Amino acid sequence: MWRQHLPSLLLLCAALCVGCTLALSLGQPKPLSAIAWYDVLGEAVTLLVACGWLGLVVAYRPRGWVSHCLIAGTGLLIWSYALDLFDEFFEYVGVDHPQSLLESAPAPLGMLLLTVGVAGWMREQRIVHRQLSGREHFLRDHRLLDPLTKLYNRAYLQHALERELELRAPDEPLSLLVIDVEGFARYNHTYGAVAGDRLLVRISEWLLMRMRPSSLLCRYGGDRFVMLLPDTPLPRAVRLGRLLQDRFAKLGDEAAACTLRCSAHAVDGRNGRTAPTEIGDALAAHSRASRRAQWAAAR
């Protein structure tokens, strides 16, 4: 993100160099005994904090007038604080007025720009919040969210897969990962449905933290989740499934009563294969694989 702000940063550096050169050329160094070190400490920390603000703005803000105001505002404060620090080490005999003008005038202007920038930032946040809550209402009204985990539900999965099949390039790989919590019925029975609900929410959050932002996690129903993995060939989806199974097994605590079973499926989407067919086949293959594994374990 910071590269977008390179011109503003270069301008700020140039202005600071000019300010420091002027301050150096106008002032005489003070003897060490005349330096007030507590003032130096306080002013240096203030300067560092202002630099930290600037760092946060350039690291996280996109380009635009709000960012320009924030950068210019913090830049002017940095200028003022830097010159303020300088006059702890230099004295300005006979040039007091130009020096104090150089040092003091930018601070109120910087504060003004910062205030305008922060007001713009808050306005942006209100707009983003309004849009997000509008989207959430839409999803809830159209029954596309699972009420327990707040993940998308099976209707949304079908809709998302249909869109993916329509829009993706023909050679772009696409996979589905079916994830089942084995032993969940026993867990429910032992600890109660409320604890079961809590475990489902925990597992959904755990899964969300382990997937790429472009993937989509849905609660298909009961203890079954489906992850839609765009741009993912089957072997990579298989590896992800194994990784999730292994990591979940190492989680310990109450989740140790259950295990995850994952199975990956390549989505073809050709020869008239629709989203419901692909999802249905993936779930059927998953159930067959689970039954086979359970028989093998029971023998």
Written as six digits, the tokens of 57 are 């703005």
Beta bridge mates, 281? none
User: Applying CB under 6 A, does 193 fall inside the site for ligand GTP?
Assistant: yes
| Three-state DSSP state, 234 | helix
Q: What is the CA radius of gyration of the chain?
A: 30
Least distance in Å: CB of 12 to ligand GTP? 55
- Per-residue CA distances from 10 to 17, 48, 50, 284 (Å): 11, 19, 17, 60
User: Applying CB under 6 A, does 180 fall inside the site for ligand GTP?
Assistant: yes
In the chain, beta strands by DSSP E:
28-29, 90-91, 174-182, 216-221, 224-230, 259-266
Gap between the Cα atoms of 72 and 50, Å rounded: 12
CB 151 within 8 A of CB 145: yes
Q: Which of 42, 120, 173, 183 binds ligand GTP (CB under 6 A)?
A: 183
Least distance in Å: CB of 188 to ligand GTP? 5
Least distance in Å: CB of 204 to ligand GTP? 11
Least distance in Å: CB of 253 to ligand GTP? 17
Which one of the spans 28-36, 92-100, 101-109, 185-193 is the region binding ligand GTP (CB under 6 A)?
Answer: 185-193
Q: What is the dihedral of CA 178, 183, 185, 186, to 10 degrees?
A: -170
The smaller minimum CB distance to ligand GTP, of residues 182 and 281, is found at 182
Written as six digits, the tokens of 4 are 């977008």
Written as six digits, the tokens of 36 are 């007030």
Least distance in Å: CB of 265 to ligand GTP? 17
The smaller minimum CB distance to ligand GTP, of residues 8 and 204, is found at 204
Closest to 19 in 3D by CA, of 115, 117, 105: 105
The smaller minimum CB distance to ligand GTP, of residues 70 and 181, is found at 181
Q: Which residue is nearest to ligand GTP (CB)?
A: 196
The smaller minimum CB distance to ligand GTP, of residues 54 and 244, is found at 244
The smaller minimum CB distance to ligand GTP, of residues 92 and 225, is found at 225
Written as six digits, the tokens of 217 are 């996690």
User: Applying CB under 6 A, does 188 fall inside the site for ligand GTP?
Assistant: yes
Least distance in Å: CB of 243 to ligand GTP? 20
The smaller minimum CB distance to ligand GTP, of residues 169 and 296, is found at 296
The smaller minimum CB distance to ligand GTP, of residues 58 and 176, is found at 176
- Give 3-state DSSP helix, strand, coil % of the chain, rounded to 5: 70, 10, 20
User: Applying CB under 6 A, does 155 fall inside the site for ligand GTP?
Assistant: no
User: Applying CB under 6 A, does 164 fall inside the site for ligand GTP?
Assistant: no
Give me the residues that bind ligand GTP (CB under 6 A), please. Answer: 148, 180-186, 188, 193, 196-197, 200, 222-223, 290
